Amino acid sequence: MATVIGIWLAALLTLAIFSFLYGDNPFYKAAEHLYVGVSAAFWLLYIWSFTVAPNLLVGIQKQGLLGKDLLLIPLVLGILMLFRIVPKYAWYSRYPMAFAVGLGAGLALTGTTQGLLFPQIQATILHPFHSINNFLLILGVITSLLYFYFSREREGVMGWVARIGIYFIMIAFGATFGYTVMARVSLLIGRVGFLLSDWLHLM
């Protein structure tokens, strides 16, 4: 019985989301608000269960606030972040927010450098005539970089190199856009398959 109710609820919510194709309506708004609320509740419970409780609460029980991990610092920063709820003391939340943004930027910088930039540089150093892929990779990297070199007029050889670079950039943008569309179409196919198979039993 619970499975049947779950299938009908999922099907009705899917149709409510699809109803936006005919324009904004109360069914779509209700499904949208429900989705946002459930997502927020899920991530709140997820962060509490897998981050706060095992790392902070269990750590405080084992080593105290002033142990080797200095758990007093994240506890204070977390409490200050909750001050945003009170308008009079909301400015206190700027300190933990600044710390979180700075930490996130640092992690993103190192992650992007080690995960994307260095491997691309290493791949570019390969022998250009080892394969057609290496040749196209090196040509695309060099011409794309020179396209953003604005210290010289784009005339003669520089103009042709910049033109080749913009072609590679457009191909990359097109591939990214195609991948995004393909992912969305895959989601659509999945939901339509669910409606026809699990709900209506037509497949």
Span 163-182, pLDDT tens digits: 999 999 999 999 999 999 99
Domain for residue 97, yes or no?
A: no
pLDDT of residue 67: 76
Domain for residue 41, yes or no?
A: no
Eight-state DSSP code of residue 86? S
CA dihedral 184, 185, 188, 192 (to 10 degrees): -170
The amino acid at residue 6 is G
Domain for residue 44, yes or no?
A: no
Convert the pLDDT of each residue in 98-136 to its tens digit. 999 999 999 999 999 998 888 888 877 777 777 888 888
Sequence-separated (6 or more) residues with CB below 8 Å from residue 126: 134, 137, 138
- Give the tokens for residue 162: 């910049």
- The domain of 190 spans 126-203
Instruction: Determine the average pLDDT of the residues in 28-42.
Output: 96
Q: What is the number of domains present in the chain?
A: 1
- Statement: residue 69 has pLDDT above 80: no
Domain for residue 166, yes or no?
A: yes
Domain for residue 147, yes or no?
A: yes
Q: Per the confidence metrics, is the pTM higher than 0.85?
A: no
Domain for residue 151, yes or no?
A: yes
Q: How many CB atoms lie within 10 A of CB 103?
A: 10
